[in-house]
Amino acid sequence: MAEHPAHERPVTLIVVDDHPVVRDGLRGMFESAAGFQVLGEAADGTAGVELATRLDPDVVLMDLRMPGGGGVAAIAELSRRGARSRVLVLTTYDTDSDTLPAIEAGATGYLLKDAPREELFTAVRAAAQGRTVLSPAVASRLVSHVRAPAAPGSEGLSAREREVLELVAKGTSNRAIARELFISEATVKTHLTHVFGKLGAKDRAAAVALAYERGILG
């Protein structure tokens, strides 16, 4: 383990990823560098929330798609609990359906797993200071998303709400939606409640019909 100068407090972090090899690699990388201290690891978002609540790290390195509890739901739960820890997403996915919900949920930064180690070190230090960190690919996508005109009638729906609605339109059950998006069934119901309210729909069928009518779907 690298030694830290007595006058400098190391940046503390935990690693949340379902792949043991990834966790081992990240732990080894950070423990061999000066200025970092890895406090623990978790294999899914649910365990990550409990670990972050108990250990109070400066930064949570969070994967997104994990069996047993996805990253977006975990980020939202940490935000709901008022956690001090900053969440830096570290994933292989950079689609709008991944990046936007994570940032909307409260992630401080979003990096891809092919980032060079020095870029990752810099990002963790920046996240610990509360600064936003985005990989160039993700930043470009976000700028494009902000500049793109919204479809009529869809202004109020978040990317995740549209994603849930698309699956509802295919006849997917709440439980299957939860599995596909790696979120809890309760979170699916929350998204649907928001969709119903924003569209003025009384149920799933009405929401889908209104979404097609307004050009949100199809």
Per residue in 50-62, pLDDT (tens digit) is: 999 999 999 999 9
Residue-level pLDDT at 135: 82
Tell me the C-alpha distance between 10 and 127, whole Å: 13
Fold observed for domain 159-214: Arc Repressor Mutant, subunit A (1.10.10)
What's the sign of the alpha-carbon dihedral 54, 55, 58, 59? Answer: negative
Q: Which residues of the chain have pLDDT under 50?
A: 152
Is 11-144 a CATH 3.40.50.2300 domain? yes
The alpha helices in the chain, defined as continuous H runs, are: 20-31, 45-55, 71-80, 96-105, 117-128, 136-147, 159-169, 174-181, 185-199, 204-213
Decide if 14 contacts 61 (C-beta within 8 A).
Answer: yes
Phi, psi of 14 (to 5 degrees): -125, 155
Decide if 78 contacts 69 (C-beta within 8 A).
Answer: no
pTM to 2 decimal places: 0.66
Burial tier of 109 (Cβ tally within 10 Å: 0-12, 13-18, 19+): buried
Domain with CATH 3.40.50.2300 in the chain: 11-144
